[in-house]
Structure 1
Amino acid sequence: MVRRLVLAALLAGVALPATAAPPAIPLDTLKTVTKTLSQDSFEGRAPATPGEDKTVAYIAERFAAAGLKPGVRGGWYQPVPLVELTLKNTPAITVTGGRTPLSFAYKTDMVIGTYRVVPQVAVESSDVVFVGYGINAPEKGWNDYAGLDVKGKTVVILVNDPDWQARATTGLFDGRAMTYYGRWTYKFEEAARQGAAMALIVHDTAPAAYGFNVVRSSWSGPQLETDEKGDHLDQSAAVGWLTNEAARKLFASAGKDLDTLTAAAKVKGFRPVPLGLKAGVSLENGIRRQASRNVIGIIPGSTTPDEYVLYSAHWDHLGRCEPVNGDDICNGAVDNASGVAGLVALAEAFRAGGPPKRSVVFLALTAEESGTLGSEYYANNPVYPRAKTVGGANMDSLNLLGDPRDISLVGAGKSDLEGLLTRLATAQGRVVKPEPTPEKGFYYRSDHFSFAKLGVPMIYFDGGDDLVKGGVAAGQKAKAAYEATRYHAPSDEYDPEWDWSGAVHDLQLYYGIGRALADGGTWPKWNPGSEFRAVRDASEAAR
């Protein structure tokens, strides 16, 4: 397979010599940075821990060695104010008023927490209501809260959106493709807007896109939120997840059937169902306020230095997590030490390729695992103006499964950056395909979304499934095995036997996209009908 990208032959308006070819992607850099950041001594790279101190210092050191300039007013770090909440008690959710009194145990039957920055919260004797998918979408004529005031109540919510089992990616909620209404973060946001005291999502592996073990590992340690005025007192007092088995017990106690109500919730016109139950929980919090850091480097543009192209990858992981066979460090080698290694490798490639016309910014972001907090903070408090930010690419876990013939485009149909990716991939002999599992909502699960929703076109793709060695079956099997056994687990550790060929070829594409944007004069646009287009169009006046 030919792997040579001749950018000038592909990209109109990009002033590169006709013989220009990209510099090599430094494989040693990829291996070294990934291995270093995933060592036990980094303690899983949790924000606001000693592991962060080692992490950001190492990234700044590698950025400097790659030739980047400090990107934050002469320094490397953008402070990101965070608050850490740690449960001090072992809570239980009690349910009364039904056929059988219930007590759901922490980590076994449920996980629970709060966004409120207070020492203690309690929900007492709160009426329990099933609100289907918990969606309020006026533009779609859909409101799962219609006709019932849930202020002070406990709402039970299904994960994903109503048509997630559809075969096609068309329909009221984009069919099989998850919309933001299906994302768990939206469920809690809307429950708070409706005044719910407690919000509980029913876990189901297929529509959630991961097992309950992932939920448990993500929710059972210290939780981070942005440190904001008001201490998040506008949020529900308690938010969490029920296992599917626990949810079935809850509905059975109310004389209801979960499957029957789930089917009803898929139909437009569904109305919330009071369950005749009362729920309660008490949480005690340890509170620690401490700034984390985004690490930012820049290559100043040679011609238009006040226009910016972005590369992003998050440096954080889960830190010390639920032990597995005595190992309590979630090292995050693939997720996302590999993506940070990609940032450093791309910086070295840009240095080798010569100065870009526009400035290129490299963002190593904090607190992605806590809800893309670092990227949201940068997007809302940009070091470089959003109106002057051309676009960019995000890397969250490089392909270390082997060399694919294809590319999985996450969130297909969003912007004209996809045409650029397609032309570059064609030159590699690869085919760009829509993501095979759009119901998993990957477009809303990483840092590019923080920029996209504020109008900056960002592309995000994944190594494909059709491996040169083994085809689609091998690719799907390898991805499924990673998600089942390593994702957000202590077993996500560096493996010297990894096949880096797919990662290198993907990084060639990332380089091509960034170089084309940096050396061109065009501004990527969102496609007509995109939910992000209006914000971008409005920013054109500021330019």
Structure 2
Amino acid sequence: MIRIAPALLLALVAPALAQSAASPAISVDTLKDVTRELSSDAYEGRAPTGPAEARTVSYIVRRMQAAGLRPGNHGAWTQAVPMVEITARDVQPFTLTGGRIPVTMAYGAEMVAATYRVTPQISLSNSPVVFVGYGITAPEKGWDDYAGIDVRGKTVVILVNDPDWRTMTREGPFEGRAMTWYGRWPYKFENAARHGAAAAIIVHDTEPAAYPWAVVQSSWTGAQHELDQPGGHLDQSSVIGWMQLAKARELFASAGQDFDRLSAAAAQRGFRAVPLGVQLSTGFGNTIRRSVSQNVIGVLPGTTTPDDYVLYTAHWDHLGHCQPVPGPHGVDGICNGALDNASGVAALIALAEAHSRAGPAQRSLLFMAVTAEESGLLGSRYYAEHPLYPLGRTVGGVNMDGLNVIGRARDFVVTGAGKSEIEDLALPFIRAQGRRVSPEPNPERGGYYRSDHFSFAKAGVPMLDGGSGEDLVAGGAAAGHAAAEDYVAHRYHKPQDEYDPRWDWAGAVEDLNVYYRLGRRLADTPGLWPNWYPAAEFRAVRDRSRTAAR
């Protein structure tokens, strides 16, 4: 249950409820048109810096302009995001020697490999392999999987998620079932690099990863993107990648170890890394292409306090061309990303239309379609590191990543609940629709760390990320859960994520009403600055930025 700040309720619940009757007209036609257009094959899956980026950006700009927004980058519609694309070629199998029998892992089917390093060739020869459990260094929790081991120049094998992911409650050193930042793959690769590992390989397991191997395969084969920064990321590991669970078991058996026993030991405080006595060899070439992608930004300037900003975000990118699958019209190799996240961009445009029709608010409203979310939140990260408007004057906002297209829900789920006061501000608008707030059904998936609000959170700006729960008006929780699981298993990050004219947009409209009213409340209440709860990891940076702004 979300904690409610009494001061916020006293000041805001009554006016919020009074305003709830004035429902904005969210255009379902806009939601359909934008989603259908951006997810058509003409946009080739909207890969950042890909052949269809210019078409994508141009379409979003036209829709923002038609919605009544002004260019958001001081007269321009876009913010340039310098990118480097690294495409591995001729990837050699993982060859592991020194055990009872050699173990080989084939690229794509059994392992994937890539690099952040901007270099034409990667070669790894006989790198000693060390099992480092969950690969976590968390001094505040008394946890260090790298204690007592030097992994410089070595290959580390890492378990996905957190040590307590099997706990069905939220209790535990790493918040129990809920994934923390320590459980996310970007953290694990970053931490391995900090410890000097030459290679970092995560063991894929569908339940704690929250997606099947096919998602890893489609996401980690082909072009990989990073921000183009000085130094070429040469401080990162030479090889990063994943291996199938079955191959990990085979590897550990060859090393004379029991994978399940060591995995259980790794979930306990005090675990110490285990050298496996085997060596890894692999290599590949890299095709390197530097380019510039674009964040698209529109603004509805405020009237009385235009230098305060309320933010709506959605990422426009998807995977582009990906692993082909048989389809009704032949083999389909385009990951169109209809739900993820053409629908979020459609929501951005529909909200811009609604706010524009209502007229300017007291504070300025920013509408931002960011690039390269699928590549590690790069577009939002770049904005957070190079803001066009001071983050200390950015009040907060809403991030949208996939709409509800399966019908109205009786509940609303806040991703990563319990972190900021912006959740309290949204609560009256949710309840005004007769809905309740439910816990995340799958907190182990780490949703809070997987979309663009996280980039802003790290910079101190509280953003709401949430939407319809699984308790559908038609069919109840069972139907909602089945639909969610079906999407993850059969469409997420696959060519099957395509626009469907049979979608039911009623639930999306209800969610957008919450987003609209929350944004309007933030924008029409000068002096209101939602903060993080005192124990939240982002409170200190918010306090610093607000102090500097004042």
Deviation sequence 1:344-403 (CA, Å, 0-9, x none): 000000011121000000010000000000000000000111010000110000011111
Question: Closer, same or farther in 2 for the Cα pair 1:16/1:412, shift >3 Å?
Answer: closer
Q: Is residue 82 of structure 2 the alignment partner of residue 76 of structure 1?
A: no
> Contact 1:402/1:467 (CA < 8 Å) preserved in 2?
yes
In 2, Cα distance between equivalents of 1:283 and 1:387: 44
Give the corresponding residue for 2:420.
415
**Residue 489 of structure 2 is aligned to residue 465 of structure 1:** no
**Structure 1: which amino acid aligns with 2:342?**
A
Q: Secondary structure at the match of 1:50?
A: coil
Which structure 2 segments of 5+ residues have no match?
A: 1-8
Q: Which amino acid aligns with 1:484?
A: A
SS at match of 2:547: coil
Measured against aligned partners, the alpha-carbon deviations of 1:239-295 in whole angstroms (never above 9, x if no partner) come to: 000000111111011011110000000010000000000101111000000000000
Partner of 1:122: 123
- The whole-number CA distance in structure 2 between the counterparts of 1:116 and 1:309 is 36
1:309 maps to what in 2? 310
Corresponding residue pairs, total: 536
8 Å contact from structure 2 (residues 17, 428) kept in 1: no
Letter in 2 for 1:532: F
Q: Which residue of 2 aligns with 1:22?
A: 23
Distance of 1:124 and 1:164 partners within structure 2: 34
Alignment of 1:395-414 (within 5 A): 395-414=400-419
**Are the equivalent residues in 2 in contact too, given 1:81–1:291 (CA < 8 A)?**
yes
Kept after mapping to 2: 8 A contact 1:314/1:396: yes
Q: Rate the CA distance shift 1:130–1:461 in 2: closer, same or farther, 3 A.
A: same
C-alpha separation in 1, matches of 2:256 and 2:548: 58
Cα deviation for residue 419 of structure 1 reads 1.1
Residues 275-294 of structure 1: pairs in structure 2 closer than 5 A: 275-294=276-295
Residue 5 of structure 2: aligned partner? none
SS in 1 for 2:437: strand
**Distance in 2 (alpha carbons) for counterparts of 1:16 and 1:137:** 43
Equivalent residue number for residue 483 of structure 2: 478
1:464 shift after superposition? 0.7
Residues 434-484 of structure 1, C-alpha deviations (whole Å, 9 max, x = no match): 211111100000000000011001110031100000000000000110110
Matched AA of 1:411:
G
Identify the residue that residue 543 of structure 2 maps to in structure 1: 537
SS of the residue aligned with 1:242?
strand
Aligned equivalents of 2:36 and 2:275: distance in 1? Answer: 52
Match of 1:504 among 489, 494, 509: 509
Q: 1:460 to 1:534 in 2, by over 3 A?
A: same
Alignment of 1:240-389 (within 5 A): 240-325=241-326, 326-389=331-394
CA RMSD for the aligned pairs?
1.5
Rounded to whole Å, the distance in 2 between the matches of 1:10 and 1:347 is 27
Q: Is the 8 A contact 1:155 1:198 kept in 2?
A: yes
Equivalent residue number for residue 520 of structure 1? 525
Supply the AA of the counterpart residue of 2:478. Answer: A
TM-score, normalization by structure 1: 0.97
CA distance in 1, matches of 2:502, 2:18: 38
Structure 1 residue 11 displacement after superposition: 3.1
Secondary structure, counterpart of 1:540 in structure 2:
helix
Question: Distance in 1 between the 2:150 and 2:175 partners?
Answer: 28
Cα gap change, 1:68 to 1:295, in 2 (>3 Å): same
**1:14, 1:520 within 8 Å by CA — same for their partners in 2?**
no
State the secondary structure of the residue aligned to 1:469.
coil
Tell me how far apart the structure 2 counterparts of residues 418 and 490 of structure 1 sit (CA, whole Å).
34
2:110 corresponding residue in structure 1: 109
Task: Return the alpha-carbon distance in structure 2 between the equivalents of residues 304 and 219 of structure 1.
Answer: 45
1: CA distance, partners of 2:132 / 2:455: 27
- For residues 291-346 of structure 1, the C-alpha deviation after alignment (integer angstroms, 9 at most, x for no partner) is 00000000000110000000000000000000001100000000000000000000
Residues in 2 aligned to 1:148 and 1:193: alpha-carbon distance in whole angstroms: 13
Deviation at residue 19 of structure 1 after TM alignment: 8.7
- In structure 2, how many angstroms separate the alpha carbons of the residues matched to 1:329 and 1:282? 28
Q: Which residue number in structure 2 is paired with residue 439 of structure 1?
A: 444
In structure 2, distance between residues paired with 1:337 and 1:14: 33
Per the TM alignment, residue 17 of structure 1 is displaced from its structure 2 partner at its CA by 8.2
Q: Cα deviations across residues 475-506 of structure 1 (Å, max 9, x unaligned)?
A: 00001101100000001000000000010100
- The separation in 2 between residues aligned to 1:337 and 1:13, in whole angstroms, is 35
Structure 1: segments with no counterpart, 5+ residues: 1-7
What is aligned with 1:62?
A: 63
CA gap of 1:275–1:17, structure 2 versus 1, over 3 A, is closer
Aligned partners of 2:101, 2:13: CA distance in 1, in Å? 69
